[in-house]
């Protein structure tokens, strides 16, 4: 099932591209056009589509506001070095109590359902290709932005209702959901979801938001642990994608550049703007979510300050930070940070 690019409006073609030359290019698998002027993907084209029948369009074009030059990100992304991103590891925190057990069981059930829906197996990774990974990433990221927003919202309302300080948790939680939404927007620049995926996202969000809302009211600690375990899976998934690129199993992604939205957000340095580089950044973000949520689950939910926005007496000692300077994959224990 392929659609010829002659149906694409001229405005979405890369400058210098000839509609004539691209006439035989397949929209579903751009990177293997029959006749293509350039093997590299550019931000003007979306490389994959899960909706083969619809003409490609920009999901979020720049608004038509000549008086405004640029709208900056509300939360600038911390700078990650190449060495720090390479130091990110797959990790699992032991289940230590009943709350952990509940959280881990929920993650395993969710994981099983998602694997079934996306035909994915970590151990075999059979039949996984760029398009399937992208669909999985889009679905995962659309769900991943929910917990931080729910937790931040509930803590915000709690602080106002009880007339108490929150001690810095809200900002980190909202920033996490913002970061997850950026992941989603980045992947949407690469692939457009079809109607079935949109339906799944809608259903998942409806169910997940409400489940998270009620769960957080009952046990915020269990919810943070749940997110910590979920992010362990996210780190694993992105590690597999990076390994697959390195092993030459995802040839289309090997040739692909990161979209401009990602280059701007991460301030990706020149020469490190490939799809693999992008996945390294996203994986590093997920590792930070993993650490933050495992750490928050270790703290007193009502009285402890958020160590990720706190100043420490001795800043030369390793302590929780927003960037990757001191990585603790399974989270900081309460005794390490609150004393
Ligand atoms: Fe994410
Ligand atoms: Fe995440």
- Domain presence at residue 307: yes
Residue 302: the pLDDT is 93
Q: Are residues 253 and 293 in the same domain?
A: yes
Residue 23: the pLDDT is 36
Q: How many CA atoms lie within 13 A of 289 on its CB side?
A: 32
Distance, in Å, from the CA atom of 276 to the CA atom of 6, rounded to the nearest integer, reads 30
267: left (phi over 0), alpha (psi -120 to 50) or beta: left
Number of C-beta neighbours around residue 271 at 10 A: 7
Question: In terms of residue numbers, what domain contains 261?
Answer: 82-337
- Domain presence at residue 75: no
Whole-prediction pTM = 0.82
Cβ(151)–Cβ(70) below 8 Å: no
Q: Are residues 236 and 98 in the same domain?
A: yes
CA 196 from centre of chain: 21
The domain total for the chain is 2
Residue 61: the pLDDT is 74
Token pair 């362990």 in the structure block, residue: 232
* Residue 183 is labelled as binding a ligand: yes
Distance, in Å, from the CA atom of 33 to the CA atom of 18, rounded to the nearest integer, reads 13
Cβ(220)–Cβ(301) below 8 Å: yes
Using the mean position of ligand 1's atoms as its centre, give its distance from the Cα of residue 83 in Å: 20
Q: Are residues 141 and 22 in the same domain?
A: no
CA 107 from centre of chain: 17
- Domain presence at residue 141: yes
Residue 229: the pLDDT is 98
Q: Are residues 18 and 150 in the same domain?
A: no
**Domain CATH for 124:** 1.20.1260.140
- Domain presence at residue 68: no
User: Which ligand is closest to the CA of 231, given by its number?
Assistant: 2
Using the mean position of ligand 2's atoms as its centre, give its distance from the Cα of residue 108 in Å: 16
Using the mean position of ligand 2's atoms as its centre, give its distance from the Cα of residue 237 in Å: 11
* Residue 289 is labelled as binding a ligand: yes
Using the mean position of ligand 1's atoms as its centre, give its distance from the Cα of residue 162 in Å: 32
Q: Are residues 32 and 112 in the same domain?
A: no
* Residue 231 is labelled as binding a ligand: yes
- Domain presence at residue 64: no
* Residue 176 is labelled as binding a ligand: no
Distance, in Å, from the CA atom of 128 to the CA atom of 169, rounded to the nearest integer, reads 38
Residue 311 burial (C-beta neighbours within 10 Å; 0-12, 13-18, 19+): exposed
Q: Are residues 175 and 50 in the same domain?
A: no
Residue 124: the pLDDT is 61
Residue 48: the pLDDT is 57
Q: Are residues 254 and 318 in the same domain?
A: yes
- Domain presence at residue 72: no
Q: What is the pLDDT along the chain (339 residues), one digit of tens a residue?
A: 333 333 333 333 333 333 333 333 333 333 333 333 334 544 445 555 555 444 445 667 777 888 888 888 788 999 999 999 999 999 999 999 999 999 999 999 999 888 887 777 665 656 788 998 998 899 899 999 999 999 999 999 999 999 999 999 999 999 999 999 999 999 999 988 888 888 888 988 999 999 999 999 999 999 999 999 999 999 999 999 999 999 999 999 998 999 999 999 999 999 999 999 999 999 999 999 999 999 999 999 999 999 999 999 998 999 999 999 999 999 999 999 997
- Domain presence at residue 76: no
Using the mean position of ligand 2's atoms as its centre, give its distance from the Cα of residue 35 in Å: 39
Residue 201: the pLDDT is 87
User: Which ligand is closest to the CA of 184, given by its number?
Assistant: 1
Cβ(220)–Cβ(5) below 8 Å: no
């Amino acid at each position: 099932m392929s659609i010829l690019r002659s149906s694409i409006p001229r405005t979405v073609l890369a400058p210098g591209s000839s509609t004539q030359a691209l006439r035989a290019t397949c929209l579903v698998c751009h990177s293997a056009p029959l006749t293509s002027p350039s093997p590299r993907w550019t931000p003007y084209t979306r490389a994959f589509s899960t909706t083969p029948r619809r003409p490609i369009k920009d999901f979020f074009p720049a608004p038509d506001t000549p008086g405004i030059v640029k709208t900056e990100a509300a939360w600038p992304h911390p700078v990650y070095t190449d060495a720090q991103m390479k130091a990110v590891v797959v990790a699992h925190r032991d289940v230590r109590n009943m709350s952990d057990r509940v959280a881990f069981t929920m993650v395993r059930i969710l994981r099983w359902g998602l694997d079934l829906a996306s035909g994915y197996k970590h151990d075999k990774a059979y039949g996984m290709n760029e398009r399937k990974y992208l669909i999985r990433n889009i679905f995962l990221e659309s769900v991943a932005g929910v917990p931080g927003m729910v937790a931040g919202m509930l803590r915000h309302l709690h602080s106002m209702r009880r007339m108490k300080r929150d001690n810095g948790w809200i900002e980190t939680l909202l920033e996490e959901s913002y970061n997850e939404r950026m992941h989603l927007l980045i992947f949407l620049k690469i692939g457009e979801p079809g109607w079935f995926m949109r339906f799944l996202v809608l259903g998942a969000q409806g169910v997940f938001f409400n489940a998270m809302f009620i769960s957080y009211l009952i046990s915020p600690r269990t919810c943070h642990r749940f997110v910590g375990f979920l992010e362990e899976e996210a780190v694993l998934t992105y590690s597999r994608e990076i390994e697959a690129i390195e092993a030459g199993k995802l040839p289309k992604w090997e040739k692909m550049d990161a979209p401009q939205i990602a280059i701007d957000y991460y301030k990706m340095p020149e020469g490190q703007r490939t799809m693999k580089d992008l996945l390294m950044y996203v994986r590093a973000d997920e590792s930070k979510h993993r650490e933050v949520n495992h750490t928050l689950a270790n703290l007193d939910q009502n009285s402890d300050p958020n160590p990720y926005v706190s100043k420490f007496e001795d800043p030369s000692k390793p302590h929780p930070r927003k960037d990757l300077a001191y990585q603790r994959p399974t989270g900081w224990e309460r005794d390490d940070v609150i004393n």
